[in-house]
Amino acid sequence: MNVSVKQIRAFVAVASTRSFAEAATLIHLSQPALSIAIKNLEEAVGGPLLVRSTRSLALTPEGEQFLPVAQGLIQDWDGALQDLHSQFTLKRGHLSVAAMPSFAAHQLPVVLSAYRQRYPNIGIRVQDVVAEAVVDMVRSGRVELGIAFEVDAAEDLSFTPLYPEQFVAVLPPEHPLLQYDELRWPMIAAEPFLTLQAPSMVRQLILESVAEQGIELDIEFESHQLVTIIRMVVCGLGLSVVPSLCIPQIEQQGGHWRPIGSPRVGRAVGIWQRQRYPLSSAAEAMIRVLEQEIKGKTPL
């Protein structure tokens, strides 16, 4: 007993139009072909669904009862496949990404807006967490893509660099060090230092980096919030070092900045995804947008 979708479609067409001829044109089939399709269907299900005389067409009680069921079946079938097709053509779908705060605050909005413009019906969920959490969320599959610094991660993840992020020093207006076009670490170490708090990878990278040079920073204050740090710098409480991504924010808050000379401190920023796990069409599209919007437009 094997019944095809076409057969059910044929039955629904005939039952709806109450005519083989009409139904045949409706489903783009010749009358005889339709006749045989129905005949085979009836054979398969074990009894007649329609009673045809040349002048009238009626449904058997079984057919009458089956008609709405068949209609539902076809509707569900087409609906499900339509949905699936929509996902591939990006006319529908869903995407979860995680991004580290500096990226989420500065670059991501323009990326999202470009993506939304191209694929208006893809729902996007963004998680704004520290870089290490980004990697964890990708690993556990809670998000499909992550954007964060490159770190040492297990083999199960892959990293695609987007651009090399460099750190810059933040200074208050009229600070003496502003006379230099580029600062060096010893100059910075001479001043009180403000930095982000513990889970931040920015903090970690800076401390590791200066420690390699035998320089020690005089950490005066820590905060989770970049805004707070910048505000304090502007108020003259000390200096800080932040990703160049944050330059717009520094300037907006009335701060000044200078690049840091060799050794430059920085880390590649890029896309994290699971190894050997295929991406959704929506995620692949996001990677394309990211590369197009970000690559070559690196700050500094």
Q: Does residue 272 contact residue 251 with C-beta atoms inside 8 Å?
A: no
Of 292, 291, 270, give the one whose Cα is nearest residue 164.
270
Is residue 287 classed as helix, strand or coil in its secondary structure?
helix
- Least distance between its own copies and beta carbon 90 (Å): 10
Q: Which does 40 bind (CB under 5 to 8 A by kind): its own copies, DNA, none?
A: DNA
Between 80 and 235, name the residue whose CB sits nearer to its own copies.
80
Looking at 129-265, list the stretches that DSSP marks H as alpha helix, in order from N- to C-terminal side: 131-140, 185-189, 201-212, 226-234, 247-252
Binding footprint of DNA, residue count (CB under 7 A) = 24
Between 40 and 298, name the residue whose CB sits nearer to DNA.
40
- The count of C-alpha atoms lying within 13 angstroms of the C-alpha of 264, restricted to the half-sphere facing its C-beta, is 14
- Spell out a b/e string for 191-223, using b for 16 or more CB atoms within 10 Å of the CB, else e: bbbbbbeeebbbbbbbeebbeeeeeebeeeeeb
Distance between CA 132 and CA 107 in Å, rounded?
19
Using CB under 8 A as the binding rule, whether residue 1 contacts its own copies is answered as: yes
Taking the CA atoms of 227, 232, 234 and 240 in sequence, report the sign of the dihedral they define. Answer: negative
Using CB under 8 A as the binding rule, whether residue 22 contacts its own copies is answered as: no
Q: Which does 76 bind (CB under 5 to 8 A by kind): its own copies, DNA, none?
A: its own copies
Please identify which residue in 31, 160, 166, 249 interacts with DNA, judged by CB under 7 A.
31
Distance between CA 185 and CA 263 in Å, rounded?
8
**What's 238's DSSP letter?**
-
Binding footprint of its own copies, residue count (CB under 8 A) = 40
Which run of H or E residues covers position 222? strand 218-223
Taking the CA atoms of 132, 152, 111 and 275 in sequence, report the sign of the dihedral they define. Answer: negative
Using CB under 7 A as the binding rule, whether residue 56 contacts DNA is answered as: yes
Using CB under 7 A as the binding rule, whether residue 91 contacts DNA is answered as: no
Using CB under 8 A as the binding rule, whether residue 92 contacts its own copies is answered as: no
x/- letters, 248..287, toward DNA (CB under 7 A): ----------------------------x-----------
Using CB under 7 A as the binding rule, whether residue 58 contacts DNA is answered as: no
Using CB under 7 A as the binding rule, whether residue 52 contacts DNA is answered as: yes
Q: Which does 277 bind (CB under 5 to 8 A by kind): its own copies, DNA, none?
A: its own copies
Q: Which residues pair with 147 in a beta bridge?
A: 99, 271
**What's 280's DSSP letter?**
P
Q: What is the DSSP string of 119-154?
A: -TTEEEEEEE--HHHHHHHHHHTSSSEEEEE-----
Using CB under 8 A as the binding rule, whether residue 33 contacts its own copies is answered as: no
Q: Which does 66 bind (CB under 5 to 8 A by kind): its own copies, DNA, none?
A: its own copies
Using CB under 7 A as the binding rule, whether residue 55 contacts DNA is answered as: yes
x/- letters, 50..89, toward its own copies (CB under 8 A): -x-x--x-x-xxx--xx--xx-xx--xx--xx-xxx-xxx
Tell me which residues touch DNA (CB under 7 A).
4, 6, 19-21, 28-33, 35-40, 52-57, 276
* Interaction site with its own copies (CB under 8 A): 1, 3-5, 44-48, 51, 53, 56, 58, 60-62, 65-66, 69-70, 72-73, 76-77, 80-81, 83-85, 87-89, 144, 276-281, 283
